[in-house]
Amino acid sequence: MWQAISGGVIALLLSIIAFFLKLLVQDIKSMSTEISKLKEAVVRMETELAMVKSMLLKYPNLINKKIMRLWGSKIGDS
């Protein structure tokens, strides 16, 4: 009788462990997809940042003129 009870308890504990392992695997899979989306977004932002940086370096006078037109003075004038 003691063996039957201990066998049942062990089976119950193993099924609980299996349930939580299944949830863990599902979370890891969803986290993997979210990480891949995040990587794509970072690559896109890095590309946009490089483009903006090149424009800032290529056309500093044009940008300064636009800023003067918006605020009426150059950057740094207080």
pTM across the whole model: 0.56
**Torsion-angle region of 74 (φ positive above 0: left; ψ -120 to 50: alpha; else: beta):** beta
CA distance 36 to 63: 35
**77 has pLDDT over 80:** no
Mean pLDDT confidence for 64-76: 75
The confidence band for 69, taking pLDDT boundaries of 50, 70 and 90, is confident
Q: Which two tokens stand for residue 20?
A: 């939580």
Number of H helices, E strands in the chain: 2, 0
